[in-house]
Every structure is written in C-alpha cells, then in structure tokens.
Structure 1
C-alpha cells in the first residue's frame, strides 16, 4: 500500500485520492468482495470451514496467522523506529490510550451487551469477550490508510499487547463473574483462558512482524540508505499489506460462512450493539484527542486503536471455553463481519476530518 503514507500538512483529500493506486482507491470494494467470497466458500463447499479450522498450531489458525503476518509486515517495515521516543514522551497520548482501551472500552461493551442482549446470555458473553480483546493487528492497516501516525500506532499496539497478556484474564473474571453478581444480574459465566495462550497470540500476531519490520528497516537503511530504502524498497513490499488483508478476510469468513448465513436474525441482534460500540469508541475518542490538542495523525491513531478489537483472540477464547458451535463463538465471528466494513468506512470519515484539523491549525496560528 505505497500510497497510504501520510501526506504533508495542508494537502487536501483530493490530492490524496489522486495518488492512490487502483488497488488502494477501491479498497472498500475489494474488502466487500473478499467477505462475499469467504462467506460463499464457507457456505457452498461442504466441510471447508472444518478443514480450515483444523490447520492450527497451539490453538492459532495457521491460515489466519499467515495472512496477518503478510498484512502487518510491510506497514511495520515503514515505521521510523528512531522516532519512537517522541511517542513515548507524549503523556497525553499514552495515558489516554490506556484508559480508553482498558477502562472505557470493556465497560462500554459490557453495558451495550446487557442493554441489547438481556435475554441471550451466550451472545452477550461473546460480545463482552470481544470488548476485552483490544486490537493488536488490523488496526495497523486502518491507521495507515487514514494517514495516522505509524510510530504512535506501533507504540500503542505494543502497549496494548503487554496489557493484554496480564489484564485479559483478570478483566474476564471481573466482567463475566464478579460485576454481574454485584449488580444483581445473576450468576456470571467463567472464562477459562491461560496467560500462555494470550502471550502466544501476542507473539504471533505482533511480535513476529514487529521484529521483522524493525530488522528490515535497520538492515535496509544500512545497505541502501534511508532515501533509497523509502523510495525504492518500500513501494515494492507495500501492496502485500493489502493482499494479506484480503486473504485474511477470505479465510476468516470461509471458516464461519455457514454459521453466519444460516442464522441471519441472530447475526443482526449481535451486530446492533457492535455498531453502537464502534461509533461510540471511534467518535468519542476522536473528539477526546481533538479536545486534548493532539494533532490529526495521533488523534486518528488513538481513535482507531480504541475502536478496533482483537477478534482472533476473542474467537479463540470463546471456542476454547464454550465450544465451536456456541453462541459465544458466534458473537466473536460476527465481530469482524461488522468491524471490517465499519472501520474501512471510518477511514474515509477520518480523512474527511483531516481538512478540519488543518483548518483549525491555520486559524489557531498567530
């Protein structure tokens, strides 16, 4: 995705669109086609979902892992790792991200799950699990497409990963067991997930592409120099991020195509709180970033890392704890069904707001 690099301040969205390749310009179309192809394959080819589900290592789907690694590597190879200290020094950004992701996000999903699904405990539990799994993968792509801060995205995703290892199980106990009993909502449902499984998820989906991207940047600049590395090498690997994304979407929906298409009413009921959740988290965080005085690129990064979720982990935990045919697993599967098209739509919303940020900056200038 060579054309997704942030443009210089003051450049309008029209110029951004003109620079996009055909592959990037019609990204929403390719994503919808990938979803349709995946659903069709899962529905029309008997046993395909089961066959794909069996190709796993340590509870992690190998096809999905390959797709995500291919997707994330080119973007992480673009990160300027020598600039990360400017991100870690931004206390407003770091603190806001922690609070939004690990306090606000799970609480919002818990509330929406109970409001929309009071009579469907299995689906409700599945949604709460999705809310606990903070995004560490696809958010890299959404942020890059929206011209967010790549370095900030790398730092915030790494921060989420660390907290995910230690906080996921604890928050699962709090929101699925303790809090429902405190509020008189009945007995909770346990969550059986090991710290090792979460750590393995983080290592595979973030650690491997992060190390590969860092080494590529360091060795590439040493051999070619920064100028040639960014002008010659990065454009060659850039499109593979999109290929990886589309491949992942096809596999993901092929795995659960039959389940999704055979239960449309249930899918709609699960989708409604998810739509509200993405809207609340994205727009609320975007307004917060603007109110804190963050620049557009970091505001966009903050908003996308808040709105995205780690559906790979959520689905794996739901299946391991409640079974592959459970309502909890279906909620996890519906997550990306809604998240993917919604967040690609929010990319366009963010780019439209980019002009407003630039106009405000000019107005505020002395």
Structure 2
C-alpha cells in the first residue's frame, strides 16, 4: 500500500472543501439561537436522562460512530506495543496537561474564581470525543487514536475525581491560594465515558466485524465507509450548534469575560499541541502517530467538563460558562492546527503502509 496521499481538495465535495466555514457557521447559529430564543439554553439543559444531555449525546454518537467504524481493530496490537507513543501520551495527558491548565488559570484569572475553576475542570477532562475528528482530518493514525482515547477513558474514570481534589483543594492549599471543592462521583465519570465513547466504539467495532464477515473487506472499505463517512460531519455540526446554544446568551452578553477565558485556552492549545508534536518528532514517531499524539494531548472533553460544572455549580454558573467557551476556542484553533499538521508532514518520516484510505479519498469530511 502507498504512503498517505497528499490533500486532494479538487476531488472533495463543496461541503468538504468548506468545512471550516460550516463549523464557524454552526458556532454562529448556536450563539444566535441561544441569544434570540428566550430560554432555549435552559430548555436544552433540561433535556437529560440521568444528568446526560440527550441532544449533545445524540450529536456525539452520530459524530464518532463513522470514524470508529473505519478503525482497523485487527491492527490495534501494533499500537499497544509502541511505548514511544503510549508513555508520552500518558505523561502529556495526565501530568503536563492538567498542570499547565492549572498554572494558566491562576496566571490569567487570579481574580475570577468561578472561571478559573471551570478552566481547571476543563484541563482535567481529557479528550475522548472530538479528537477523533481532528485526528482523522489531519490524516493521523486511526488505530492509535482509538487506543489513546480508550486509555484516556480508563484513566478518566480512575483519576478525574482524585485530580480534581488535588488541583482544586490540595495544591492551592499548599501554595496559599483559594481552595475549591469538587464533588463528583466515579460513577458520573464512568457514565459519561460509557455513553460518549463506549457506545460508538462498540457500534463501530460491530459494524466492521459484521460487515467484513458478511460482505468482505473490499465491499466494506469501498462501499459502506464512503456512505457513513459524511455523518461524522453532520454530527459534529449538530453538536457545535447545541453546545453554543446552551449558553449563547451568556457568551454574547459577556464578551469581555469570554475574552479573558479565551486567552489562557489559546495558550494551552498552542503549547500542548506544538509541544506534543515536537515530542513525537524527537522520540522518532512517524507523521500519523505524532499527529495523533498531538491532537489527543491538546484536545479536552468539554462535554464531561460542562456536565460536571453544571451538576456541581449550576447551569448558569461561571464554571459552566468557562466550559462552554472551551469549544468556542478549541474548534477554530484545532481546525487551524489541522492545516498546520498537514503542512508539517514533510518534516516527519512516513509509514510504509497506512491503516485505511485517507479521509479525503473516502469522500468524508476533510479540511
């Protein structure tokens, strides 16, 4: 099989070629709806089952399923044996990432405790959802992404509450700073992981296993994958509209506060992504796996962060607003970093084979 093909913009559909435009429009639609429709955010926040937002869950499931259905699960063993990928990922996600967000929150928001706490919670929630999309758009390693988000999920269940206690109560006490309590159960975290990752992961695995068994791999890759691929984009846009509609009024009515929350987030994404990409290069990862390392380290699980903030501090709290501002900054920044990643491919070694056809070749979303 050949190495990863170069971007093939000319072969993409009108929708795919203008993905960044549609994402920005979705953000604008969500903000506009939240602003002009009275009570829309509160109404959406109430559409829940056991504290899980049904609209957000629906969007994420539709978004993640097609990408996880493309994963070659028979090749996951090559990823789990790659210590150059797994060890840096664990260190970046569970040591450096939360510590960096804690430092930035205190540096940029020393006088705004609600927003500061919200950002720290965002830093603790490692990405298990949208990173799948950014990684695919940048031609990252799908199998590696599946392994790393699964690994993040396990650590999220085990470590989120403990790290929340440490960064909000213990460490500030040691440093003589203001302390905050975070009361969230392991079950709440596990439930979020199960819904937002477990369901689409199981569906994707069963789709590939049954599809290849009944119709064969060639049919699966050339017929089924192109048909389900575009739904990842539809789910992404729907999720973005819902996220921004939830607090559209708060975001548009408090632009200065949003700007103050945005600044540390911009620094965080830039430092985590660039540092992770450089680390991947330094330890000898090829382009697809270095890209996967960078995006899984830079992304955050805003769905979990928002859910925890709402459950602990309330839907209209500053902590919840900080969580919603997260994707407002992450989405355009990581879309831009997809372009940067693709432009940097010439500086990395390329694999001799690829796990699956590039997303552009499959007719699904690609910047």
Tell me the TM-score normalised to structure 1 length. 0.94
Partner of 2:3: 9
Give, in whole Å, the separation in 2 of the partners of 1:109 and 1:161.
19
Of residues 208, 223, 240 in structure 2, which corresponds to 1:249?
240
Q: Is the 8 A contact 1:12 1:355 kept in 2?
A: no
Of residues 193, 204, 222 in structure 1, which corresponds to 2:195?
204
Q: Is the 8 A contact 2:277 2:293 kept in 1?
A: yes
SS of residue paired to 1:9:
coil
Change (3 A) 1:262 1:242: same
Please give the residue correspondences for 1:77-96 in structure 2 after superposition, counting only pairs within 5 Å: 77-96=69-88
Give, in whole Å, the separation in 2 of the partners of 1:341 and 1:173.
31
Partner of 1:296: 287
Give, in whole Å, the separation in 1 of the partners of 2:345 and 2:215.
33
Q: Is the 8 A contact 2:3 2:351 kept in 1?
A: no
Give, in whole Å, the separation in 1 of the partners of 2:12 and 2:144.
23
Give, in whole Å, the separation in 2 of the partners of 1:33 and 1:310.
22
Give, in whole Å, the separation in 1 of the partners of 2:112 and 2:344.
38
Cα deviation, 1:196-223, whole Å, max 9, x if unaligned, reads 1100000000000000000000000011
Structure 1 residue 352: deviation in Å? Answer: 0.6
For structure 2, the 5+ residue unaligned runs are 353-367
Structure 1 residue 356: deviation in Å? Answer: 2.5
Partner of 1:161: 153
Structure 1 residue 358: deviation in Å? Answer: 5.0
Structure 1 residue 246: deviation in Å? Answer: 0.3
RMSD: 1.4
Partner of 1:312: 303
Partner of 2:180: 189
Q: Is the 8 A contact 1:134 1:160 kept in 2?
A: yes
Partner of 2:361: none
Structure 1 residue 357: deviation in Å? Answer: 1.9
Give, in whole Å, the separation in 2 of the partners of 1:108 and 1:251.
28
Structure 1 residue 269: deviation in Å? Answer: 0.2
Give, in whole Å, the separation in 2 of the partners of 1:194 and 1:176.
16
More helix by share: 1
Partner of 2:41: 49
Of residues 304, 329, 337 in structure 2, which corresponds to 1:338?
329
Change (3 A) 1:174 1:360: same
The number of residues matched between the two structures is: 352
